[in-house]
A and B are shown apart, each in its own frame.
Chain A
């Protein structure tokens, strides 16, 4: 087993462990932290595949931004775990069946020797090829259409989020110092002349 394989198995083991902990951890904050660990290790795996750009972006986008906000929200949640566990036994059979199905499928996929047969034409990486440059070129040539579509999907998400949460600007009261200075006595006090009223 060479160095690379060792690293691969090491990272994979951590990844699987972290993945399992995400769904088994009792504390949601721990689950999120394990998810972060999972992202980080998968970034490591991508590095092994020489996809350094993707690995960095995974770290930057998911760990650096998405998961921070996620953690932010989860920390503020007050989850009653017992309540969450109530339906567990009721849904277990269905969940188990689906889980077993997926496991069988995985087995069949891994068992089939297909992945070496048809498409072994993975483009060889030139020695000094820059991942970033290649990806950038691909995104702005062949994949420009899905790239733009993804941008529109993000736009939709923004519009939707704003439409659902924005309820108009807040009506705050504040003092305007300039107006306070400009004020004249006449604006403040108005002397009104009126006849004396009799008391009766």
Chain B
């Protein structure tokens, strides 16, 4: 590592810290994009097996080159801009959708030292950045100048704003029990407790004492990403394809990337906040990034599983679930945990 640093300083001089940061960004984004590509593959495979099909198997061995082929196809396709569309916003909307999904990764820790920016309020940063994702969808819907797209945008906006509240409350409880807004601290705070002392770390993670919030957070995450069964923003049987009905080629691909990057982000956050991040489930195995990756894959599986299992919610049911079930539930649990922490039974000291 030191030799790398010395070498870098020698080549780039004072600009080296900036270049090094850039390299780190590339090191995060490139695997992420690869992950996105193979998540689409995994999705098709998993859903295929669930429906007793085989899934893609033609391009490459086991169909492993399928995502590459899809990417190349989308790259080569023409981007059609509808005649009545607002050109500037139409083009910028996909980027606005992808940028927050990528920017959030800046503060995501992979191990206790492996993090791009270890800032004090990283959880807050993720919430703030995450709340901006909705603009891509809304602007895409509006700029397309199409009623289906607009309807999709409206649905998406209302849905995302509603579920963000429940999500935020769930996070408030997490930060309450760990006493920090820093993701590294949050992960580390999950590694102690009665069960951890017995060597059963996985029972000390937040998911068990905060089980309802874990569930609420993850389901809200599914709703935030507009994934099935909350995908009314696309709702291909009602409003064709919702907000991106008029997008084609690479512009469409960017929306696609954003959606899957967001999925991976939600899975990662769930792993970090509730499943102990990179810590190993039992004391005799070493901690490491492998565990984090395994947990992310586990959570991602749920996304795919949901899609294969549940029919799409009706729009008013989505709203009811968000406002009348999740928000009251999280608020009540906030009080419960608050009282719990003040009582002698506090397990988070």
When A and B assemble into the complex, do they touch directly, with CB atoms less than 8 Å apart?
Answer: yes
In the assembled complex, the Cα of A36 lies from the Cα of B131 at a distance in Å of 13
**A63 contacts across to B, CB distance below 8 A:** 128, 131-132
Partner of A60 from the list B89, B119, B127, B142 (CB cut-off 8 Å) is B127
B127 / chain A contacts, CB cutoff of 8 Å: 56, 60, 64
A29 at the interface (CB under 8 A from B): yes
List which B106-157 residues lie within 8 A (CB) of chain A: 119-121, 124-125, 127-132, 134-135, 138-139, 142, 150, 153-154, 157
User: Is the CB of A71 closer than 8 A to any CB of chain B?
Assistant: yes
A52 B157 Cβ-Cβ under 8 A? no
What does DSSP make chain B's interface, helix, strand, loop or mixed? Answer: helix
Contact of B131 with A59 in the complex, beta carbons under 8 Å: yes
User: Contact at B120–A131, with CB atoms within 8 Å?
Assistant: yes
Q: Which residue of B lies closest to A63 (CB)?
A: B132
Task: Provide the bound-state CA to CA distance between A71 and B139, in Å.
Answer: 9
CA distance A131 to B121 in the complex (A): 9
Contact yes or no, A60 B121, CB < 8 A: no
Note all chain A residues with C-beta closer than 8 A to B130: 64
Cβ A68 vs Cβ B128 within 8 A: no
Q: Which of A64, A75, A130 contacts B128 (CB 8 A)?
A: A64
Judge whether B125 and A56 touch: CB under 8 Å. Answer: yes
Number of chain A interface residues as a range: 20 to 34
Q: Do the beta carbons of B134 and A68 come within 8 Å of each other?
A: yes
B161 in complex: contacting residue of A57, A65, A132, CB < 8 Å: A65
Please classify how large the interface on chain B is, using the bins under 10, 10 to 19, 20 to 34, 35 or more: 20 to 34
Given A68-B157, A132-B121, the answer on whether A60 and B138 have CB atoms closer than 8 Å is no
Q: Is B187 on the interface with A (CB-CB < 8 A)?
A: no
> Which parts of A30-69 form the interface with B (CB within 8 Å)?
33, 36, 52-53, 56-57, 59-60, 63-65, 68-69
Does A10 touch B at the CB level, under 8 Å? Answer: no
- In the complex, A29→B181 CA distance in Å? 35
Residues of A within 8 A of B128 (CB): 56-57, 59-60, 63-64
In whole angstroms, what is the CA distance A132 to B123 when docked?
12
- Which residues 144-176 of A sit at the B interface, judged by CB distance below 8 A? none
Q: Which residue of B lies closest to A40 (CB)?
A: B132
Q: Are A72 and B154 in contact (CB under 8 A)?
A: yes
CA distance A177 to B138 in the complex (A): 39
Residue of A with least CB distance to B161: A68
Which residues does chain A contribute within 8 Å of B231, judged by CB atoms? none
Closest to B160 in A: A68
Residues of chain A contacted by B150 (CB below 8 angstroms): 75
Instruction: Give min CB distance, B239 to chain A, whole Å.
Output: 16
Q: Which of A36, A57, A59, A72 contacts B157 (CB 8 A)?
A: A72
B246 contacts partner chain A, Cβ-Cβ < 8 Å: no
The CA of A130 and the CA of B161, in the complex, are separated in Å by 28
**Measured between alpha carbons, how far is A75 from B139 in the docked complex, in Å?**
10
List B contacts of A29 (CB < 8 A): 142
A60 near B124 with CB under 8 A, answer: yes
Contact with A along B159-202 (1 / 0, CB 8 A): 01100100000000000000001000000000000000000000
Closest CB-CB distance, B18 to chain A, in whole Å?
Answer: 11
The docked-state distance in angstroms from the alpha carbon of A78 to that of B211 is 46
| Bound: A57/B181 CA distance, A | 13
Closest chain B residue, CB of each to CB of A29: B142
Chain A residue at smallest Cβ distance from B142: A75
List 12 A-B pairs, Cβ < 8 Å.
A36-B135, A56-B124, A56-B125, A56-B127, A56-B128, A57-B128, A60-B127, A65-B131, A65-B164, A69-B161, A75-B150, A75-B153
A-binding residues in B (CB < 8 A): 89, 119-121, 124-125, 127-132, 134-135, 138-139, 142, 150, 153-154, 157-158, 160-161, 164, 181
Known A59-B131, A130-B121, A132-B120; further 19 A-B contacts with Cβ < 8 A: A33-B89, A33-B139, A52-B119, A52-B124, A53-B121, A56-B121, A56-B125, A56-B127, A56-B128, A64-B127, A64-B132, A64-B134, A68-B160, A68-B161, A71-B138, A72-B154, A130-B120, A132-B121, A132-B124
